[in-house]
A and B are shown apart, each in its own frame.
Chain A
Amino acid sequence: MRRTQRESDDAMLSLLLAKGDGTIWMPPQASTVAGATDYVFYYILYISAAFFILINGAMFYFIWKYRRRGPHDKVGRITHSTPLEIGWSVIPGLLLIPMFWWGFKGYMEQRTFPPNCLEINVVAAKWNWTFIYSNSFTSNELHVPVDTPVRLIMRSNDVIHSCFIPAFRVKRDVVPGRYADLWFRATRTGRFPLVCAEYCGTSHSDMKADVYVHPKVADGQAKDPLDKSYDEWLKNADPYGKLTPEQYAEYTKDYEAFKTKYGGDEVMKPIVEKLAAPPERGQQLWDKKGCKSCHTLDGTPSQGPSWKGVFGKEEALADGTKAKVDENYLRESILEPNAKIVAGFARGVMPKTPLKDYEIDALIAFFKSLSGDQK
């Protein structure tokens, strides 16, 4: 229920943003290269419109003026004119040169990386984006500071994807087996869509992420994490990462006891408030890490087996053997998807998704909750 509320907020927000200062042709401009791209876009648009009107205007005028009136119409005898031919080759040719030149300059600007970029690693996989920050926090949202050059270093876990941020006018294919990169410098704060531009299979169109551009100077009082500076956001981004291993063990073991123990603590309180119960955390990961595009929770198999009731069951494997689904089985299935293949499903479909140990713990807790909380 909560999720649908959030989604409808999201839809509102994206609508507002799209209306922002985009035009009927272009989304809002939010990076340093957007202006140059739009400039040449409109140059081409006006030249094209002029030529289109010229050609079709002449055509409509001629077909009306010289429409057939009878078999004895007088027909012009002109069959060629070299000056005309040269004129209409050279003049359009000259008008093309600025297009090429501005396009080239704009492109080179996008491909010339400024020194000292903030670097963020990106992993593309069917069908979600993972962003890995300098403190090794990973998220499915891209957070960047405004007015700072950012370099995305991207790799793919499976097929070709393509990272496209329309408001920044940047796009780059993420080809498996090599790194791809792109850079941008955001010029305004806010939220912008990031989409996959290269066809990558079933849920290609659902492979999207949000880009959050944070202000330079923090508004200390800000409640909305968007109004915090990038650094401050990053520091607080991962409440789970802030737990010590001991605290983490307590959190996993008994969430309620953990809450009462630390809920009153001045330092720990804001962190604890952000934590979800482990199974709930597992569900969030299912949603955010793209597991949901292949695994349902209601028992209907889709691309992969449903997660309902899997934990504790005897799983029939493709090689004819059976395996008991316990913590180790799940861990292996998630980290090495091709180690054991469930009977009836294809090898090589499930991607390797980068997950931290405690995220796997949370997923396991979620699996257990889906099997009626077997311990």
Chain B
Amino acid sequence: MSSLHPSVAVAAPAIPDDPGTANYLTHEKGILSWLGTLDHKRICVMYLYGIIAFFLIAGAFALLFRTALLFPQKGAVPGGIQFLISHDMYNQLFTLHGAIMIFVVIIPGIPAALGNFIVPLMLGAKDVAFPRLNLASWYMWAFGCVWLLIALLTGGLDTGWTFYTPYSTSTSTRVIPALTGAFLLGFSSIFTGLNFIVTIHKLRPPQMGWFQMPLVLWSLYSTAIMQVLATPVLGITLLMLIVEKAVGIGIFTPELGGDPVLFQHFFWFYSHPAVYIMILPAMGVMSELLATFSRKHIFGYTFIAFSSVAIALLSFLVWGHHMFVSGQSSLLGTIFSAITFSIAVPSAVKVFNWVATLYQGSIEFKAPMVYALSFIWIFGIGGLTGLFLSTMSTNVHLTDTYFVVAHFHMVMAATIFVFLGGLHYWWPKITGRMYNETLALAGCLISVIGFNITFLSQFPMGSNGMMRRYYNYAPEFQSLHVISTIGSYLAGVGFFVSVVCLVQSLFRGRKAPANPWGAATMEWRTPSPPPWYNFETTPKVEDPYDYDLLKYNERTDSYDYVGRPAGAPRPAH
């Protein structure tokens, strides 16, 4: 097993004399030291650059098509106005918005970017179990993005992110490059998942049992299981689609003897778990943020931990709730509906435990905390509206309407906001700089309010029959569409402010102390930013939510680790 040990895997330059000046960002210089790095922290930084860039691109696409939706009738229809964005451009914009947001931004957002940084640090380890695989996963991600860009630049893509056949096999847009991109992005996700599973099993310090792990590790572990088991199915499906389109072998196209509904089964077998691949890591980060900024032990540790595992396992058995009207049998539909309801319970349990964590806390409204609190609001809406869609008869009415659009954007936005919350939270550790709190809070509140305006207006539109992926629509929906578009502009402003705030901190930010928030997990017991070998001395394993172990130090504006006084009891959970 010794080959798994990170100290062997990482090429080891001499330890510099002063760890305070040579941290992981500065101990090696030059672009090649980045592109060839095996350091999990540097890989996190490379992911962050890419993900934030693509987030802004895909967001800009959304603002463009929301602008087109200000007008109900466009193009060659009665009463249609000539608008800059045509039918076909609109279709490409929403397709690329969805595909980039999901495959490039949200799926790798928390695990591959933030997770890469925190998993080894939270375990007190030097790196992930397979640093080379880690770098390979970043390259897979980068190549996947390149292929998506090729598709974008050589003719676009208009299939929707779902690639439904036989539309995708018959359209003349660049389906094959886009599928290749999604295929590679899938492999990147598998590599990361594999790495985290092994890391959490093998590199946990001996004193840290499963129930002494920070909860974010439980959720990243559950996520990793889904990544490893579900993503290959997507890969195979996309590959079959490529083969069908390139060579004409009938798998999904009826003319060639294939079955289009089979594609939907395969696709959702991955893409429902993918929903939880996107939300579970955010739920993990939630537990960290809420406990730290309440300065109170997380409530119901075991239930939160097991609910992550329950969600991961159940998520494999619900994919058919996307297909109640597609022609799957009523019996199958009924089973899927029932299992879908059962997954609502562990999600609700988490929310209740978070709210209970606030009880009798000492709550500080720093930007990461405000993001976390917004999660409860937004995920509350996203999760509860899921009930309408798990119920078969209402699903028939609501599926493929704006109700669904609003529902899953609320869920995905919850992830985005916690990703941003986590990014602000670990920002001092990653960059060594403090961001401007006022600017960060402003960005957070503006984008949260904008997001709510954008999507709350879409629920009644959808239940009244406004269909998703529509370019033209009935004039009676116009006022709600205008509200929604204004909301999206506001959200855009908010995200822009957040980005400005983070970028500004890199140049103007105060130097970050080791533990500015007073968090009890191990990553805060090394300087900010950490040395390349992570820890000067291996930290002692303690309860990750016991804030009695920390003492505020006015001189450094940081929290010092003081350890448990002799004889003091450990909190039970």
Residue ranges of A at the interface with B (Cβ–Cβ < 8 Å)? 3-4, 7-8, 11, 14-15, 18, 22, 24-27, 33, 36-37, 40-41, 44-45, 47-48, 51-52, 55-56, 58-59, 62-63, 66-69, 71, 73-81, 84-85, 88-89, 92-93, 96-97, 99-100, 102-111, 158-160, 162, 164, 166, 169-173, 175-178, 180, 193, 195-206, 292-293, 296, 302, 346, 348-349
Contact A178 B327 (CB under 8 A): yes
> Which of A26, A79, A166 counts the most B-chain CB atoms under 10 A from its CB?
A79
Minimum-distance CB pairs A-B, first 10: A76-B360, A177-B254, A106-B393, A103-B391, A166-B465, A73-B362, A107-B392, A205-B470, A48-B384, A62-B358
CB distance from B552 to the nearest CB of A (A): 5
User: Which residues on A sit within 8 Å (CB–CB) of B399?
Assistant: 171, 197
CB<8 Å pairs between A and B, sample of 21:
A8-B79, A36-B393, A40-B393, A40-B394, A47-B387, A59-B373, A62-B358, A67-B363, A68-B295, A68-B363, A75-B361, A76-B361, A79-B299, A88-B349, A100-B337, A164-B400, A175-B254, A178-B254, A197-B401, A201-B167, A348-B170
**CB of B152 within 8 Å of the partner chain:** no
User: Which residues on B sit within 8 Å (CB–CB) of A92?
Assistant: 344-345, 348
User: Which residues on B sit within 8 Å (CB–CB) of A78?
Assistant: 299, 359-360
Identify which of B88, B259, B296, B390 contacts A75 (C-beta below 8 A): B296
Select from chain A the residue with minimum beta-carbon distance to B261: A175
**CB of B301 within 8 Å of the partner chain:** yes
Identify which of A26, A33, A66, A111 contacts B363 (C-beta below 8 A): A66
A318, B472: Cα distance in complex, Å? 33
Contact A110 B338 (CB under 8 A): no
Contact A99 B387 (CB under 8 A): yes
- Kindly identify, within residues 472 to 530 of chain B, every residue whose CB is under 8 Å from any CB belonging to chain A: 472-476
> For chains A and B in complex, what number of residue pairs have CB atoms within 8 angstroms?
285
Contact B469 A176 (CB under 8 A): no
A14, B391: Cα distance in complex, Å? 29
User: Which residues on B sit within 8 Å (CB–CB) of A77?
Assistant: 297, 571
Contact B359 A76 (CB under 8 A): yes
Contact A88 B348 (CB under 8 A): yes
Contact B392 A106 (CB under 8 A): yes
Identify which of B166, B400, B573 contacts A159 (C-beta below 8 A): B166
Contact with A along B161-200 (1 / 0, CB 8 A): 0001011001110000000000000000000000000000
Contact A195 B465 (CB under 8 A): yes
Contact A44 B465 (CB under 8 A): no
Identify which of B299, B330, B356, B365 contacts A111 (C-beta below 8 A): B330
Contact A204 B359 (CB under 8 A): no
**CB of B396 within 8 Å of the partner chain:** yes
Residue ranges of B at the interface with A (Cβ–Cβ < 8 Å)? 76-79, 87-88, 91, 158, 160, 164, 166-167, 170-172, 254-255, 259-261, 294-303, 324-327, 330, 333-334, 337-338, 341, 344-345, 348-349, 351-353, 355-356, 358-365, 373, 376-377, 380-381, 384-385, 387-388, 390-397, 399-401, 460, 463-465, 467-476, 545, 547, 552, 571-573
Known contacts A33-B393, A79-B571; decide if A59 and B298 are in contact (CB<8 Å). Answer: no
Contact B393 A37 (CB under 8 A): yes
Contact B345 A56 (CB under 8 A): no
Known contacts A22-B464, A25-B463, A75-B362; decide if A200 and B167 are in contact (CB<8 Å). Answer: yes
Contact A4 B361 (CB under 8 A): no
CB distance from A111 to the nearest CB of B (A): 5
User: Which residues on A sit within 8 Å (CB–CB) of B465?
Assistant: 27, 164, 166, 193, 195
> Which of A7, A26, A96 counts the most B-chain CB atoms under 10 A from its CB?
A96
Contact B79 A7 (CB under 8 A): yes
User: Which residues on A sit within 8 Å (CB–CB) of B463?
Assistant: 25-26, 41
CB distance from A174 to the nearest CB of B (A): 9
CB distance from B471 to the nearest CB of A (A): 5
User: Which residues on B sit within 8 Å (CB–CB) of A196?
Assistant: 467
What 17 additional pairs, Cβ within 8 angstroms, besides A89-B348, A159-B164?
A11-B79, A15-B476, A52-B381, A62-B355, A76-B361, A78-B299, A85-B300, A92-B348, A96-B345, A97-B341, A100-B341, A104-B334, A111-B330, A164-B400, A195-B467, A199-B164, A205-B472
Select from chain A the residue with minimum beta-carbon distance to B303: A85
Identify which of B171, B385, B396 contacts A107 (C-beta below 8 A): B396
Contact A66 B358 (CB under 8 A): yes
A201, B92: Cα distance in complex, Å? 10
Select from chain B the residue with minimum beta-carbon distance to A3: B78
Contact B78 A7 (CB under 8 A): yes
Contact A58 B294 (CB under 8 A): no
User: Which residues on A sit within 8 Å (CB–CB) of B296?
Assistant: 75-76
User: Which residues on B sit within 8 Å (CB–CB) of A203?
Assistant: 87
User: Which residues on B sit within 8 Å (CB–CB) of A89?
Assistant: 345, 348-349
Contact B362 A107 (CB under 8 A): no
Identify which of A15, A171, A199 contacts B469 (C-beta below 8 A): A199
Select from chain B the residue with minimum beta-carbon distance to A52: B380
Contact B298 A79 (CB under 8 A): yes
Contact A14 B394 (CB under 8 A): no
Contact B259 A197 (CB under 8 A): no
User: Which residues on A sit within 8 Å (CB–CB) of B295?
Assistant: 68, 73, 75
User: Which residues on B sit within 8 Å (CB–CB) of A44?
Assistant: 387-388, 391, 394
